[in-house]
Amino acid sequence: MAYNVFSGDATQGSGSHLDVFIPELWADGVYRYFEKNLVFKPFFDDYSSLVQGAGDVLHIPTMQEVATASKAANTGVAYSVNTETDIDLAINEHKYAAKLFEDIAMVQSNEQLFDKYAQSMGYALAKAVDVKIEALLQTIGTTQDLAANNSMSNADVETAIGTLLSNDIPKEECAFFVNPLIYADLLNSRAFVAAGVSGSNTSSGIGFGADNAAMRTGEVGLLFGIPVFTSSLIPTTSSDGIEVGYLVHKSAIAVAVQQDIRIQSEYSVDYLGTKVVADIIYGAVITTSNHVKGIEFLNS
């Protein structure tokens, strides 16, 4: 990424020169941090390509299971006539992050300072998108009480997986989303920490097993073969009946970004600085009204 440096007083002259290069310069930086900070959105079904440029509602058909029948000799087949329903994904969220820079020359000539501002704006927009999705997860409708508050035992996990499998939901297409306290507790679980870690370190002449290797490398993330994510947006309260985690299929949430992060700027004579605004237009909807696609873990 190229960083522009210009000399002289940044408050002098027209804003036309600033308008030419600021959006391109900031867009890459903000978008990079936006993608990096997303936790929920990348996992779920993304319909962004279907809403680019126009339309405020996307109608997603729900496919019903087609019935089977036995074929008798010399008889015709009977065709299933299912009543399909739609799930409406409304593109109704418009979020922005705005900042006034009184000395744009100082920001753009300092890579570290520029990076911090881009990171801050990208994080704010990513958090707004994930807040929407986490709120939808709280309405999944299928709940399970944990044996202990803010802690997930193997028995808890086995019960949850059994619920999904009994509803024909493949666990290979699912993920856990838990609050930081549960995630930290899982770091003491052999099933979690040792997943995917193998071999021993012989370079120092000292061998160690998979568990110790995980402790030394920090390589974690799978629980019974299912990826685990954590987010500070999920409550950590110890109150009973509060959602503290989820096990969900990727189709449980439909999300679409109609407009990727857009950067606009304008020089303000009143403030002798440049106003920079980053915004995004998107929507998300839950799809679990007619089928179990996830579980809410509740403190008991």
Work out the average pLDDT over 268-285.
87
Residue for token digits 């409304």? Answer: 90
Residue 100 CB neighbours (<10 A): 13
pLDDT digits (tens, 9 = 90+) for 137-193: 999 989 999 999 999 999 999 999 999 999 999 999 999 999 999 999 888 877 776
Q: What is the pLDDT of residue 209?
A: 45
pLDDT band at 199 (very low <50, low <70, confident <90, very high): very low
What residues are paired with 298 via a beta bridge? 145, 243
Contact 80, 67 (CB under 8 A): yes
Of 294, 260, 257, 290, give the one whose Cα is nearest residue 58: 257
Q: Report the distance separating Cα 210 and Cα 193, nearest Å.
A: 9
pLDDT band at 34 (very low <50, low <70, confident <90, very high): confident
pLDDT band at 51 (very low <50, low <70, confident <90, very high): confident
Work out the average pLDDT over 278-300.
89
pLDDT digits (tens, 9 = 90+) for 8-19: 333 333 433 333
pLDDT digits (tens, 9 = 90+) for 54-94: 778 888 777 666 777 888 888 888 887 766 677 888 899 99
Q: Report the distance separating Cα 32 and Cα 26, nearest Å.
A: 10
pLDDT band at 220 (very low <50, low <70, confident <90, very high): low
- What is the arrangement of strands in the sheet containing 273-286, beginning at the earlier edge strand? 45-46, 253-268, 273-286, 93-101
The phi and psi torsions of 208 (rounded to 5 degrees) equal: -150, 155
Q: Report the distance separating Cα 169 and Cα 167, nearest Å.
A: 6
Q: What is the pLDDT of residue 84?
A: 67
pLDDT digits (tens, 9 = 90+) for 101-118: 776 655 665 666 667 777
For residues 115 and 222, the model is more confident at: 222
For residues 210 and 31, the model is more confident at: 31
Q: What is the pLDDT of residue 66?
A: 73
Q: What is the pLDDT of residue 300?
A: 82
What percent of the chain clears pLDDT 70, i.e. is strictly above it? 74
Q: What is the pLDDT of residue 117?
A: 76
Q: Report the distance separating Cα 287 and Cα 256, nearest Å.
A: 14
The pTM of the full predicted model, rounded to 2 decimals, is: 0.74
Q: Report the distance separating Cα 1 and Cα 242, nearest Å.
A: 44
